[in-house]
A = this chain, B = another copy of it.
Amino acid sequence: MAKIRLKDIDTDPPKDIDKGDTKKKLSKILGELDELQNLLYAEGRHSILIVVQGMDAAGKDGLTRDVFTSMNPQGVNVKPFKEPTPEELSHDFLWRIHQHAPAKGMIEIFNRSHYEDILTTRVHGIIDDHTAKQRMKAINNFEHLLQEHNNTIVLKFYLHISHKEQRSRLEERMEIPQKMWKYNANDFIESKLWQRYMEYYEGAFEHCSDIPWHIIPSDKNWYKSYLVAKTLRDKLHSLNMKYPGMKK
């Protein structure tokens, strides 16, 4: 994959995209997704793994709410990955991840993922470049395993916001009561490491691209949610799923 330069990619929607229009389209897609998810579950032939990555305040939680709220939770699961526990750290970095790989018929959303193990860890010097390379190879093998051996469609999204937009959202968390619970002083420290995060994200896109990344302009939440929903809808459509007949 050609090297992606994040600074060359717009974080805003293209000029000719209309907000009201896009919201109407999203609403229609959500209706289709509801039906498609039911079909995925009934057919039980594929599974979907949605990897959501992005900087703090990029809108990962909001995406989950916007796109997956209307689906039957029996077939949809969200797994947020936080800092690893001591037990998790006493295993290889994919151990805790693999356990949450989706069963056939299921949609699993990773809110952060195994990619943190080559991002945050690198930015903070917990692993060196050599280990990062080994991990990227292991990640490729792991994603292939899911795809080849369990019919898992892996969809990887990077929610791309500008540094300016991030700062403004982090500041909001100090001011708006409904957002204060998300406030974390550490986020401002992390924000200062922006350039290094961008560099390591670009490394992840370059070396872990056997299964492609979708870079989603995310300064506007309505556009971000629309793009992700549309990508998922198109992928599910392409599977030519059918309801099984009666069991004999």
Q: Which residues of A contact B (CB under 8 A)?
A: 44, 87, 90-95, 98-99, 101, 103-105, 134-135, 138, 141-142, 144-146, 148-150, 152
Contacts and interface: CB of A to CB of B under 8 A. Distances in A.
19 contacts: A87-B103, A90-B103, A90-B105, A92-B145, A92-B150, A92-B152, A93-B149, A94-B98, A94-B145, A94-B149, A95-B99, A95-B150, A98-B98, A98-B99, A134-B149, A135-B149, A138-B144, A141-B141, A142-B145
A104 B92 contact: no
A91 B87 contact: no
A145 B150 CA distance: 19
A135 B149 CA distance: 8
Given A138-B149, A142-B145, 18 more contacts: A44-B90, A87-B103, A90-B103, A90-B105, A90-B150, A92-B145, A92-B152, A93-B149, A94-B98, A94-B145, A95-B98, A95-B150, A98-B98, A98-B99, A134-B148, A138-B141, A138-B145, A141-B145
For A104, A144, A145, the residue with the greatest tally of chain B CB atoms inside 10 Å of its CB is A145
Given A138-B148, A141-B145, A145-B141, A92 B103 contact: no
B101 A92 contact: yes
Contacts of A94: 98, 145, 149
A118 to B, nearest CB: 12
A222 B152 CA distance: 46
Nearest to A44: B90
A28 B239 CA distance: 61
A92 B146 contact: yes
Contact of A101 (B91, B103, B141, B145): B91
A104 B135 CA distance: 18
Contacts of A101: 91-92, 95
Contacts of A135: 149
